[in-house]
Amino acid sequence: MCGIVGYVGPQPALEVVVNGLARLEYRGYDSAGVAVLGGGSLRTEKRAGKLANLRKALEERPISGDGAGIGHTRWATHGAPNDVNAHPHVDNDRRVAIVHNGIIENFAALRMELEEKGCKFLSETDTEVAAHLLSSEMAERGGDLPAAMRAVCKRLEGAFTLVATSVDDPGLVVAARRNSPLVVGRGEGENFLASDVAAFIAHTREAVELGQDQVVELRADSVAVTDYDGNPVEVNEYHVDWDASAAEKGGYDYFMLKEIVEQPRAVADTLLGRVTVDGQLTLDEMRLSPEDLRSVEKIVIIACGTSYHAGLIAKYAIEHWCRIPCEVEVASEFRYRDPILDQQTLVIAISQSGESMDTLMAVRYAREQRARVLAICNVNGSTIPRESDGVLYTHAGPEVGVAATKTFLTQLAACYLIGLYLAQVRGLKFGDEINTVIAQLATMPEQVERVLGTVEPVRELARSLADTDTVLFLGRHVGYPVAMEGALKLKELAYMHAEAFAAGELKHGPIALIEDGLPVVVVVPSPRGRSVLHDKIVSNIQEVRARGARTIVIAEEGDESVRPYSDVLIEIPAVPTLLQPIVSTIPMQVFACELALAKGNDVDQPRNLAKSVTVE
């Protein structure tokens, strides 16, 4: 939440910073602002709304700087999303400018203290206290911005990334982090700071991870990192394995459209290199030994939103293949219910961004309780995998659209791999059984490609439903979380009432919602797998249809038994029951995206949302 950019170097700082913000806008788009240093003074501009408003303001009233600049794109927490509350915030003498991601929890007490000392506050934000505090700490430290930043951080409670610049040292940008993302980009004679490597990937692919409670001093030719006491710390450098083109729309009107189409590649890349020549599944990067995994007695999956839905599906596969009890819990609820965890518990934390605060806090709690934590994550070097005992990275590439699409499919692939690997190391299945499922998994990119080739009728259907108020989704077994994912996509993109039910639960109340013409999407399990499930859902389809629902049925090719009860039939390839979510989710993604576009919504930046939710 909130995107932050910092730059020091010979290029025009304003341009570098604004272009960096454009790549981070998915993190928040309530307002945007910049500060550059020029002619011995701070030059700032900030505007409510999307980055386009800031760009327009900068065209009308250009500002320029001499080499250092900072910028921010906001997801509002404290104070309405207006021009005044937009970042950067400055001190009363306009000597320092600061941008912030996170929440300063003790801001009210600090504000009172600063006001008593005569500081004049302009905004309602928690961030502004950091600007005034920084200025006062600098005054006490002879203008030493890094020392002042360290002192400020020690006084703040909560989660924050802070990036600041000062007229007293125009070639310097200083940043600090606690529980909020920040990464350094190392260039030739220039250096970058950002919430995410996407902001500087057009300039450099060499990055530096920053740990918790660290302060970084960025100059054109140096990067120095210390802890809050000023002690130098070792940093981990890495090469980003994707380039700028991966974070561009590549001819599509929206990132989401591109990311849906990228799914076959994303799934293939996630499966790549996981099987040795002798047919053994190998998850080397995981950092948990076979002994660790053999001692697991219970699995708890924690995640939010779409990642939570991936976890719900994983439960079916893991319990079926490994016979280990598996619980799945929304991360924001997990630590508040006093969960029973011990060293024999494996907690799997699923997070695309690796930065969701709810999931991070659940991971920390689990580790405090001595459970082992395995992360499934798409962002290299992000906080959740860094703080976990092990990690399995998905290789979806950068996902810019706020709605998770390709990362969901790759999370499913990763969950299946973990389930099969657990079965392998625990000796629960014969090697050839595992190899059969691996071979089936290996065909999934091709199956995803096939589904993508048949979704035009889904688009037409979605456009025809643009004026609908409500859509219900039904599923059974792994189709139930798929239905939940379909409903979530429609809510977040089309701003409609969309709700998913376990099809068998409908008759216990929700069936009262059915009225004439109400669209009901039903995910039908394969008739070849558990036929009893299939037959039950066919009855459920008839029950809603008898009450006037318009049935939109997603079923396996050749499943003729559902045709008579389907007002619209969407066919998907026949795949094993447990793997069906990889193909059945796609029509839902396309449906939600197209319906939202038909309503004129921005599918990459839906209202009120942000891609990476770094507050609790």
Alpha-carbon distance 150 to 142, whole Å? 14
Query: Minimum Å distance from CB 452 to ligand M6R?
Result: 18
> 593 catalytic, yes or no?
no
**Which region among 36-44, 197-205, 231-239, 402-410 touches ligand M6R (by CB under 6 A)?**
402-410
Alpha-carbon distance 187 to 176, whole Å? 20
Pairing of strands 89-90, 68-74: unpaired
Q: Can residue 494 be called a binding residue for ligand M6R (CB under 6 A)?
A: no
Alpha-carbon distance 329 to 378, whole Å? 20
Q: Is 345 exposed, middle or buried (0-12, 13-18, 19+ CB in 10 A)?
A: buried
Q: Can residue 25 be called a binding residue for ligand M6R (CB under 6 A)?
A: no
Q: Can residue 447 be called a binding residue for ligand M6R (CB under 6 A)?
A: no
List the x/- string, 299-318, binding to ligand M6R by CB under 6 A: -----xxxx-----------
Q: Can residue 159 be called a binding residue for ligand M6R (CB under 6 A)?
A: no
DSSP string for residues in 516-563: TT-EEEEEPPPSSS-HHHHHHHHHHHHHHHHTT-EEEEEEETT-GGGG
Q: Which is nearer to ligand M6R, 159 or 215 (CB)?
A: 159
The residue number whose beta carbon is nearest to ligand M6R equals 305
Q: Which is nearer to ligand M6R, 19 or 263 (CB)?
A: 263
The b/e string for 430-466 (b: 16+ C-beta within 10 A; e otherwise) is eeeebbebbeebeebbebbbebbeebeebbebbeebe
Q: Can residue 383 be called a binding residue for ligand M6R (CB under 6 A)?
A: no
Query: Minimum Å distance from CB 501 to ligand M6R?
Result: 19
Q: Can residue 400 be called a binding residue for ligand M6R (CB under 6 A)?
A: no
Angle between helices 406-425 and 263-271 (to 10 degrees): 20
Q: Which is nearer to ligand M6R, 206 or 492 (CB)?
A: 492
Q: In what order do the strands lie in the sheet containing 96-104?
A: 89-90, 96-104, 158-166, 173-178, 214-219, 222-227
Out of 1, 131, 147, 404, name the contact with ligand M6R by CB under 6 A.
Answer: 404
Out of 402, 438, 590, 593, name the contact with ligand M6R by CB under 6 A.
Answer: 402
| In the block, residue with structure tokens 């998907």 | 572
Six token digits for residue 314: 């994983």
Identify the active-site residue in 2, 119, 304, 593. Answer: 2
Q: Which is nearer to ligand M6R, 483 or 613 (CB)?
A: 613
Alpha-carbon distance 499 to 554, whole Å? 16
Q: Which is nearer to ligand M6R, 2 or 37 (CB)?
A: 2
List, in order, residues 6 or more apart from 142 with CB less than 8 Å away. none
Identify the active-site residue in 46, 406, 489, 611. Answer: 611
Question: Total number of residues binding ligand M6R (CB under 6 A)?
Answer: 16
Alpha-carbon distance 410 to 587, whole Å? 16
- Which one-letter DSSP state was computed for residue 229? T
Q: Is the dihedral of CA 614, 228, 170, 9 positive or negative?
A: negative
> 258 catalytic, yes or no?
no
Q: Can residue 48 be called a binding residue for ligand M6R (CB under 6 A)?
A: no
List the x/- string, 328-367, binding to ligand M6R by CB under 6 A: -----------------------xxx--x--x--------
| In the block, residue with structure tokens 């000597």 | 95
List the x/- string, 249-288, binding to ligand M6R by CB under 6 A: ----------------------------------------
Q: Which is nearer to ligand M6R, 392 or 544 (CB)?
A: 392
Pinpoint the alpha helices (H) of 469-530.
479-494
- Please say whether the beta carbons of 533 and 541 come within 8 A: no
Q: Which is nearer to ligand M6R, 322 or 488 (CB)?
A: 488
Out of 318, 348, 403, 483, name the contact with ligand M6R by CB under 6 A.
Answer: 403
Query: Minimum Å distance from CB 111 to ligand M6R?
Result: 30
Q: Which is nearer to ligand M6R, 488 or 555 (CB)?
A: 488
Which sequence positions are flagged as catalytic?
2, 611
Residues that bind ligand M6R (CB under 6 A): 304-307, 351-353, 356, 359, 402-404, 488, 492, 612-613
